[in-house]
Chains A and B, each alone.
Chain A
Amino acid sequence: MPEIEYGPLLRQLRSTLGKLEVALGAIDEAIVWTDHQGLIQWCNGAFDRLVQRPHFRNLGEPLQQLLPLEHAGAGSGGGGHPWKQAAEGGVIRGLYRFSQGESIRALEVSASRVEVDRQASIVMTMRDVTEETRTRERIRRLMRQNQLILDSAGEGVYGLDPEGRTTFVNPAAARMLGWAVEELIGQPQHQVIHHSRADGSAYPAEQCPIYAAIREGVARTVRDEVFWRKDGSCFAVEYTSTPIVEEGEIQGAVVVFRDSTERRLAEADTARRSRLLMLLQRITEAANEAESVEQVMRFALDRICAHTGWPLGHVYVTDPESSSRQLVPTRIWNTGADSRYDDFRSLTEVTEFKVGRGLPGRVTSTRQPYLLADLSQDPDFARADGARRAGLVSAFAFPVTVGSGVTAVMEFFSTARAEPDVFLLEIMGQVGRQLGEVIQRKRAETRLHQSNRDLEVFASVASHDLQEPLRKITAFGDRLEEVSGEALDDRGRLYLSRMTAAAGRMQVLIDDLLQYARVSSRGRPLERLDLDQLIRQVLSDLETRIEESGARVELEPLPRVEADPSQMGQLFQNLIANALKFRHPERTPEVRISGRMVSDSTRPWCEITVADNGIGFDQQYGERIFEVFGRLHGRTAYPGTGMGLAICRKIVERHGGTIAAHGDPGRGARFRIRLPARRDPGKEVEQ
Chain B
Amino acid sequence: MTLEQMKREDSIPVVIVNSLGIITYVNGAFEDAMGWESPAILGRSLTLIIPEYLRDAHNLGFSRFLTTEQPTLLEHPIQLKAVDRNGREFVAEHFIIAEKVDGEWCFGATIKELDGEERSGAGN
Q: Is B122 interfacial (CB 8 A cutoff)? A: yes
Q: Is B51 interfacial (CB 8 A cutoff)? A: yes
Q: Are B124 and A14 in contact (CB under 8 A)?
A: no
Partner of B124, one of A25, A42, A59: A59
Q: Are B121 and A21 in contact (CB under 8 A)?
A: no
Q: Are A41 and B63 in contact (CB under 8 A)?
A: no
Across the interface, which residues of A come within 8 angstroms of B40, CB to CB? none
Across the interface, which residues of B come within 8 angstroms of A20, CB to CB? 60, 63
Distance from A66 Cβ to chain B, minimum over Cβ atoms (Å): 9
Q: Are B53 and A14 in contact (CB under 8 A)?
A: no
Partner of A11, one of B19, B57, B59, B80: B19
Q: Are B53 and A39 in contact (CB under 8 A)?
A: yes
Q: Are B67 and A59 in contact (CB under 8 A)?
A: no
Q: Are B56 and A42 in contact (CB under 8 A)?
A: yes
Expressed in whole angstroms, the Cα–Cα distance for A22 and B21 within the complex equals 19
Distance from B103 Cβ to chain A, minimum over Cβ atoms (Å): 13
Across the interface, which residues of A come within 8 angstroms of B73, CB to CB? 56
Expressed in whole angstroms, the Cα–Cα distance for A11 and B66 within the complex equals 9
- In A19-60, the 8 Å CB interface with B consists of 19-22, 25, 35, 39, 41-42, 55-57, 59-60
Q: Are A18 and B121 in contact (CB under 8 A)?
A: no
Q: Are B57 and A41 in contact (CB under 8 A)?
A: yes
Across the interface, which residues of B come within 8 angstroms of A61, CB to CB? 122, 124
Q: Are B20 and A15 in contact (CB under 8 A)?
A: no
Q: Is B61 interfacial (CB 8 A cutoff)? A: yes
Contact with B along A353-377 (1 / 0, CB 8 A): 0000000000000000000000000
The residue on B at minimum CB distance from A15 is B67
Expressed in whole angstroms, the Cα–Cα distance for A7 and B21 within the complex equals 10
Contact with B along A1-17 (1 / 0, CB 8 A): 00000110011011111
Expressed in whole angstroms, the Cα–Cα distance for A300 and B89 within the complex equals 121
Distance from A684 Cβ to chain B, minimum over Cβ atoms (Å): 118
Q: Are B66 and A60 in contact (CB under 8 A)?
A: no
A35 touching B124 in the complex, CB below 8 Å, given contacts A14-B62, A22-B64: no
For the complex, would chain A's binding face be called helix, strand, loop or mixed by DSSP majority?
A: helix
Q: Are A15 and B81 in contact (CB under 8 A)?
A: no
Q: Is B78 interfacial (CB 8 A cutoff)? A: yes
Expressed in whole angstroms, the Cα–Cα distance for A81 and B51 within the complex equals 26
A60 touching B67 in the complex, CB below 8 Å, given contacts A17-B59, A42-B56: no
Distance from A164 Cβ to chain B, minimum over Cβ atoms (Å): 58
- Chain B interface residue count: which class? 20 to 34
Q: Are A59 and B54 in contact (CB under 8 A)?
A: yes
A21 touching B64 in the complex, CB below 8 Å, given contacts A35-B53, A56-B80, A60-B124: yes
Across the interface, which residues of A come within 8 angstroms of B121, CB to CB? 57
Across the interface, which residues of A come within 8 angstroms of B54, CB to CB? 41, 59-60
Q: Is B68 interfacial (CB 8 A cutoff)? A: yes
Q: Are A55 and B63 in contact (CB under 8 A)?
A: no
- In B43-81, the 8 Å CB interface with A consists of 51, 53-54, 56-57, 59-68, 72-73, 78, 80-81
Across the interface, which residues of A come within 8 angstroms of B81, CB to CB? 60
Across the interface, which residues of B come within 8 angstroms of A39, CB to CB? 53
Across the interface, which residues of A come within 8 angstroms of B51, CB to CB? 60
Expressed in whole angstroms, the Cα–Cα distance for A7 and B18 within the complex equals 11
Expressed in whole angstroms, the Cα–Cα distance for A41 and B81 within the complex equals 13
A11 touching B68 in the complex, CB below 8 Å, given contacts A56-B73, A60-B81: no
Expressed in whole angstroms, the Cα–Cα distance for A258 and B120 within the complex equals 73
Expressed in whole angstroms, the Cα–Cα distance for A467 and B60 within the complex equals 152
Partner of A7, one of B20, B63, B67: B20
Expressed in whole angstroms, the Cα–Cα distance for A142 and B104 within the complex equals 61
**What would be 18 A-B contacts, judged by CB atoms less than 8 Å apart?**
A10-B21, A14-B62, A14-B66, A15-B67, A16-B63, A18-B67, A20-B60, A21-B60, A22-B68, A41-B53, A41-B54, A42-B60, A55-B61, A56-B78, A57-B122, A59-B54, A60-B53, A60-B81
Known: A18-B64, A55-B72. 19 other contacts (CB 8 A): A11-B19, A11-B20, A13-B63, A14-B19, A14-B20, A17-B59, A17-B63, A18-B65, A21-B64, A22-B67, A39-B53, A41-B56, A41-B57, A42-B57, A56-B72, A59-B57, A59-B124, A60-B53, A61-B124
Chain A residues packing against B (C-beta within 8 Å): 6-7, 10-11, 13-22, 25, 35, 39, 41-42, 55-57, 59-61
Chain B residues packing against A (C-beta within 8 Å): 19-21, 51, 53-54, 56-57, 59-68, 72-73, 78, 80-81, 121-122, 124
Which 10 A-B pairs have CB atoms at the shortest separation, nearest pair first?
A18-B67, A17-B63, A18-B63, A21-B64, A21-B60, A14-B63, A42-B57, A18-B64, A10-B20, A59-B57
